[in-house]
Amino acid sequence: MVQRISRSSGRTLLSLYSRPIATRNPLVRHEPARRQYAAASITHAGAADAPVQYSPVTKPPSARPAETRKSQLIRTYTSLLRTTPLILFFQHSNLTAIEWAAVRRELKKAVSAIPPTIVGPDGMAIDISDSVQLQVLRTKMLDVALKIVEFYNPEAAAAMGTTARTTRGPIIHDLSEAAYQAIHKAEVTSESAYSQIEPLMVGPIAALVMPAVSPAHLAAALSILSPVPGSFPPPTRKKNPGYHEPICQNGLAKLTLVGGRIEGKVFDQSGVNWVGGIPGGMDGLRAQLVRVLQSTGLGITSTLEGGSKNLWLALEGRKEQLTDE
């Protein structure tokens, strides 16, 4: 059924069509929408100049663009340096993907053969072989991360009055302006760990990362990545034929151990070999420390007893002499 319109509506439509096109008014006005869009654009434009109190929780103000890959690498490397007690640095000569895969395969095989030597808080043994990794690092970003870990103290920056703050507290993360100023104003001394490791950060760098200091696992890794005849001999062809494949050997020939960072201290190649060659691992090192302490205690005890014993003998001899007289 066709719906009919009223007479008043018909007259309105007829008057609209009878007017010229240039004088017709639009049925829907877009001016409010334009004004609303303009207001929204002003709001977004003003957000760029807003104070730091209005920064989002997930993206605090920083001296570096937080979304760039370099910034994320700096955050990753600073976390790695703070939480990893053992890192070995290798210079590599642009290994291919196949060579990296072969080297990592043999490294995984060597460290997996070591029984768990780390004891957790609950007394259970922890297997760290799955967490031993060989990673390729960006040298310049690692250099910045080393400076931040060495020369930047977030607690000291939070106590300073010049540190930028928000309603949630001071801005003291690793990409903050405070960290940026701290590493640029830091005085690098010859005794600092950064000055000792900075000469090694040349060219392409790879890092062997271990979540705990385990001399047994370190020795197994060195026997693959940097073998030393007698101390860390490489596996034989009969025991591990994959190690002697041309692809793996070509990759290992492009790796050179330059040093390490163990418990915050910098070690050269000989120092790394010493840690890996500790007999008995950490248990052997503890036994050596106990023996040193025991021998020192026995020496002090015998020295103290010797003086009092000599005095007692002298007094007893004088007593007998007086008694005879």
- 287 pLDDT more than 70: no
pLDDT at 13: 57
Examine residue 236 and state whether it is found in any structural domain, yes or no: yes
pLDDT at 167: 78
Q: What is the mean pLDDT of the chain?
A: 79
Q: Binning pLDDT at 50, 70 and 90, where does residue 178 land? A: confident
Which of the given ranges, 8-17, 54-63, 226-235, 309-318, has the highest pLDDT on average? 226-235
Higher-pLDDT residue of 49 and 310 is 310
- Sign (positive or negative) of CA dihedral 267, 74, 135, 199: negative
Higher-pLDDT residue of 103 and 300 is 103
pTM: 0.69
Q: Binning pLDDT at 50, 70 and 90, where does residue 7 land? A: low
Q: Binning pLDDT at 50, 70 and 90, where does residue 48 land? A: very low
Question: Do the Cβ atoms of 145 and 198 come closer than 8 Å?
Answer: no
Examine residue 184 and state whether it is found in any structural domain, yes or no: yes
C-alpha to C-alpha distance for 6 and 139, rounded to whole angstroms? 82
C-alpha to C-alpha distance for 8 and 28, rounded to whole angstroms? 20
* Mean predicted confidence (pLDDT) in 64-89: 89
Smallest Cα–Cα separation from 217: which of 112, 126, 85, 102? 112
C-alpha to C-alpha distance for 21 and 70, rounded to whole angstroms? 60
Q: pLDDT by residue (tens digit) across 111-133?
A: 999 988 787 777 788 888 889 99
C-alpha to C-alpha distance for 168 and 15, rounded to whole angstroms? 64
Q: Binning pLDDT at 50, 70 and 90, where does residue 28 land? A: very low
Examine residue 48 and state whether it is found in any structural domain, yes or no: no
* Mean predicted confidence (pLDDT) in 175-183: 88
Examine residue 264 and state whether it is found in any structural domain, yes or no: yes
**Which amino acid, 205?**
I
Which of the given ranges, 16-20, 191-195, 233-237, 284-288, has the highest pLDDT on average? 233-237
- Sign (positive or negative) of CA dihedral 311, 313, 314, 320: positive
pLDDT above 90 coverage of the chain, percent: 35
For the domain that residue 114 is a member of, what is the CATH number?
3.30.70.1730
Examine residue 204 and state whether it is found in any structural domain, yes or no: yes
Examine residue 167 and state whether it is found in any structural domain, yes or no: yes
Examine residue 311 and state whether it is found in any structural domain, yes or no: no
Examine residue 139 and state whether it is found in any structural domain, yes or no: yes
Q: pLDDT by residue (tens digit) across 201-218?
A: 889 999 999 998 889 899
C-alpha to C-alpha distance for 152 and 275, rounded to whole angstroms? 29
- 265 pLDDT more than 70: yes
The tally of domains found in the chain comes to 1
Domain that holds residue 176: 69-283
Question: Do the Cβ atoms of 268 and 262 come closer than 8 Å?
Answer: no
pLDDT above 70 coverage of the chain, percent: 73
